[in-house]
């Protein structure tokens, strides 16, 4: 879903500049698929990417016969790249990030990964650190450009904002303190529940929206909330959120961005456990002060930018999470400073779209020159 949202503006720019092109978008999740349909309708072809088995990928590439392929972030599949290059397609890795841990894994499995990386015609890296890691792995420096993250160019349309406001009104939560725990994992549920229980002692009408990262975790999250004695409404049931509701479980797909828009503060999960964290830019773009645990290695550059500006706070456990929630709900000046800082970081780092589009245009020009020859 995150990669799809980041790709939408880039694809729309390509469509505007090259209306003659036939574009196929692949996704690997139902939420990503739904976002493609919402954003593009029937103006593109959409399908799921096949498993990276030689027979499947070979047939897929032969059927599409692509001139260019843009791969988002780090979804690198050896057979796909191999057969794309056999079909003489240009292959660009866009919005590319590479953590120190992933780079070490690539080095460990170098017989598989390094030949694959060297087949790429270009890499549009999110940061200087990511670019250096790709070059250290053997990618030619001439093929690597630092373009920033497309996720800073997130475009939250007015329709989503209005839907979020309407949802908060529907929940009778306009005057309540509301916070979101987004993309959370087992191992974090207990800490989030404990933090909310502490918040309720000072703000008895507070509402938490807990959104597990994966659907298979919905029931476990619901059980943990009920076992803690909190009044729960599951979003999927369509039950009314009443004045005494303490937790809404976001057990639906594709609504996290709207939940952020309906809240005042956000915790981004996968970070209190050793997982690597998830993208904090969506709540930041909504103007929410953001909290994360200390394990955010997959979004280290983004998280540190937000943290240094004052838009993100690192919390170690339930107690520090609760204390920060309580502080910002009680101190409007501190809240407004953190909210403004979060939005400004997003605004100041926009511009990746234009840089990545320039790389795409360059790659397409090379392809057209090859075809002309």
Q: pLDDT band at residue 254, thresholds of 50, 70 and 90?
A: confident
pLDDT digits (tens, 9 = 90+) for 161-211: 999 999 999 999 999 999 999 999 999 999 999 999 999 999 999 999 999
- pLDDT above 80: residue 115: yes
| CA dihedral (258, 181, 295, 223) positive or negative | negative
pLDDT of residue 345: 96
Per CATH, 2-154+350-372 and 158-348 having the same topology is answered yes
- What is the distance, to the nearest Å, from the Cα of residue 85 to the centroid of all Cα atoms in its chain? 28
20-24, 74-78, 221-225, 277-281: the lowest-pLDDT one: 74-78
Residue 43 has pLDDT above 70, yes or no: yes
Per-residue b/e over 239-272, b at no fewer than 16 CB within 10 Å? eebeeebbbbbbbbebbbbbbbbbbbbbbbbbbb
Band of pLDDT at residue 4, cut at 50, 70 and 90: confident
Tens digit of pLDDT for each residue in 316-330?
999 999 999 999 999
Q: For residue 212, which phi and psi values (nearest 5 degrees)?
A: -60, 150
pLDDT above 90 (res 341)? yes
Domain extents for the chain?
2-154+350-372, 158-348
pLDDT at position 301: 86
15, 23 contact by CB (below 8 A): yes
Annotated active-site residue in 3, 35, 188, 282: 3
Quick one: pLDDT at residue 370?
60
For the domain made up of 158-348, the CATH class stated in words is alpha beta
Residue 373's pLDDT band (cuts 50, 70, 90) = low
Confidence of residue 109 (pLDDT cuts 50, 70, 90): confident
Is 2-154+350-372 a CATH 3.50.50.60 domain?
no
Residue 106 has pLDDT above 80, yes or no: yes
pLDDT higher for 206 or 113?
206
Say yes or no to pLDDT of 41 above 60.
Answer: yes
Q: Is 282 labeled as catalytic in the residue annotation?
A: no
Going by their DSSP bridges, the two strands 45-48 and 265-268 should be labelled as unpaired
Confidence grade of residue 110 (pLDDT, cut at 50, 70, 90): confident
Q: What is the pLDDT of residues 46-90, one digit of tens each?
A: 999 999 999 999 999 999 999 999 999 777 899 999 999 999 999
- Res. 371: pLDDT tops 60: no
Q: What's this model's pTM, rounded to 2 decimal places?
A: 0.82
**pLDDT value at 28 more than 60:** yes
What pLDDT shows up at residue 6?
84
SS (H, E, C) the chain: CHHHHHHHHHHHHHHHHCCCCCCEEEECCHHHHHHHHHHHCCCCEEEECCCCCHHHHHHHHHHHCCCEEEEECCCCCHHHHHHHHHCCCEEEEEEECCCHHHHHHHHHCHHHHHHHHHHCCEEEECCHHHHHHHHHCCCCHHHEEECCCHHHHCCCCHHHHHHHHHHHHHCCCCCCCEEEEEEECCCCHHHHHHHHHHHHHHCCCCEEEEEECCHHHHHHHHHHHHHCCCCEEEHHHCCCCCCCCCEEECCCCCCHHHHHHCCCEEEECCCCCCCCCCCCHHHHHCCCCEEECCCCHHHHHHHHHHHHHCCEEECCCHHHHHHHHHHHHHCHHHHHHHHHHHHHHHHHCCCHHHHHHHHHHHHHHHHHHHHHC
């Amino acid at each position: 879903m995150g990669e799809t949202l980041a790709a939408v503006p880039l694809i729309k720019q390509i469509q505007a500049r090259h209306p003659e092109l036939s574009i196929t978008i692949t996704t690997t999740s139902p939420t990503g698929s739904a976002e493609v349909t919402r954003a593009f309708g029937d103006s593109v072809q959409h399908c799921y990417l096949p498993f990276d088995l030689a027979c499947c990928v070979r047939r897929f590439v032969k059927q599409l016969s692509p001139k260019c392929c843009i791969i988002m972030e780090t979804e690198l599949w050896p057979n796909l790249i191999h057969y794309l290059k056999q079909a003489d397609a240009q292959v660009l890795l866009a919005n590319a990030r590479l953590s120190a841990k992933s780079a070490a894994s690539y080095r460990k499995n170098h017989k598989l990964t390094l030949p694959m990386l060297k087949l790429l015609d270009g890499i549009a890296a999110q940061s200087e650190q990511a670019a250096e890691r790709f070059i250290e792995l053997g990618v030619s420096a001439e093929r690597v450009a630092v373009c920033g993250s497309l996720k800073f160019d997130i475009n939250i349309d007015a329709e989503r904002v209005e839907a979020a406001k309407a949802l908060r009104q529907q929940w009778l939560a306009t005057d309540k303190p509301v916070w979101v725990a987004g993309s959370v994992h087992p191992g974090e549920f207990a800490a989030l529940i404990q933090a909310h229980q502490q918040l309720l002692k000072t703000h008895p009408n507070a509402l938490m929206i807990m959104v597990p990262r994966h659907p298979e975790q919905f029931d476990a999250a619901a059980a943990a909330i009920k076992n803690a004695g909190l009044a729960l409404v599951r979003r999927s049931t369509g039950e009314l959120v009443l004045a005494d509701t303490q937790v809404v479980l976001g057990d639906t797909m594709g609504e996290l961005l709207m939940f952020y828009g309906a809240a005042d503060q956000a915790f981004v999960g996968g970070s209190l456990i050793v997982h690597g964290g998830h993208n904090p830019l969506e709540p930041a773009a909504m103007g929410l002060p953001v909290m994360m645990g200390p394990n955010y290695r997959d979004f280290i550059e983004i998280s540190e930018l937000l943290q240094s500006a004052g838009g993100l706070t690192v919390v170690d456990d339930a107690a520090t999470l609760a204390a920060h929630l309580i502080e910002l709900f009680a101190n409007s000046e501190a809240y407004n400073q953190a909210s403004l800082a979060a939005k400004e970081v997003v605004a100041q780092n926009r511009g990746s779209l234009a840089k990545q589009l320039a790389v795409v245009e360059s790659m397409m020009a090379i392809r057209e020159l090859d075809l002309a020859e």
